Amino acid sequence: MARCLAHEEAAWSEFVERYANLIYATILRVQLPEEDVEEAFQSSIVAIHQQLPKLREPERLVSWIVGIAHRQAINRIRVRTRDLTVPDVDLETHVADLELPDSERSRLIEIQQVREAVEHLTGRCRVLLHSLFFEDPPPDYETISRRDGIPIGSIGPTRARCLDKLRTFLEEGGWEGGE
């Protein structure tokens, strides 16, 4: 954050890469028409850039980003509905119904924690979890074994150990397991 505020372009690039999926996931919760999702995504990035210097509690950064992305998504609905002249539609009531519930906000924050924790893993665990959960289509065990140098018989037990390692790391960071 400090590097972003010091106008380091490389830091902003890292920032966007790191939080892009959080912003995207938050906007998807509002169920906008497809063409509005990108608009909301780009305007969220610009709003974050403008407002980051005013953020008073840096430890709440993730929650703050969720709030901004959600507002930008709602703004897209306002823009769309403003152009419609339907007298019986109370826009503000409709928008109020779209407020992000606390449980949803917490879930988005926890998912970001998991996202960052997976990126934090090193070595075999990072490689294996990426192969197992992030590739589409998922590679078969033979491919993983050959490519990542893990014996086929070890993939299952290694997966369990890596998940446990990830869970421990998250717990140390205050993750509550989505309860």
Partner 1 sequence: MTTNDADKIFAAALARAARTGSEQDLRDVLNSLREELADDPVALNQVRSLLAQIQDVAEVATPRPWIDAAVARIMELERGLAPAPSLLERAKDALRDAVRIIEAQLVGDTFAGAAMQGIRGSAAFQPRQLHFSSELGDVHLQIDRSERGHSVMGQFVPLHLDLLDAEIEARATTERGTTSTHLDPGAQFHFTDVEDGEIRIELDMGKDSLRLVPFRIPSHEEG
Name the residues that contact partner 1, by CB under 8 A. Answer: 7, 9, 12-13, 16-17, 20-21, 23-25, 28, 38, 41-42, 45-46, 49, 107, 110-111, 114-115, 118, 129, 132-134, 138-141, 144, 152-153, 155-157, 159-161, 163-164, 166-167, 170-171, 177-179
Q: How far is the CB of 90 from partner 1 (least distance, A)?
A: 32
Residue 90 or 156: the one with the smaller Cβ distance to partner 1 is: 156
Burial (CB count within 10 angstroms: exposed 0-12, middle 13-18, buried 19+), residue 26: buried
Q: What is the dihedral of CA 119, 100, 28, 13, to 10 degrees?
A: -40
Residue 96 or 152: the one with the smaller Cβ distance to partner 1 is: 152
Q: How far is the CB of 158 from partner 1 (least distance, A)?
A: 9
Q: How far is the CB of 33 from partner 1 (least distance, A)?
A: 16
Task: Report d(CA 13, CA 6) in Å as an integer.
Answer: 13
Residue 25 or 95: the one with the smaller Cβ distance to partner 1 is: 25
Residue 85 or 134: the one with the smaller Cβ distance to partner 1 is: 134
Task: Report d(CA 137, CA 13) in Å as an integer.
Answer: 28
Q: For helices 61-82 and 102-120, give the axis angle rounded to 10 degrees.
A: 130
Q: How far is the CB of 86 from partner 1 (least distance, A)?
A: 31
Helices (H), the chain: 2-5, 9-28, 34-51, 61-82, 91-97, 102-120, 123-129, 141-148, 152-172
Task: Report d(CA 85, CA 92) in Å as an integer.
Answer: 14
Residue 90 or 164: the one with the smaller Cβ distance to partner 1 is: 164
Q: How far is the CB of 42 from partner 1 (least distance, A)?
A: 6
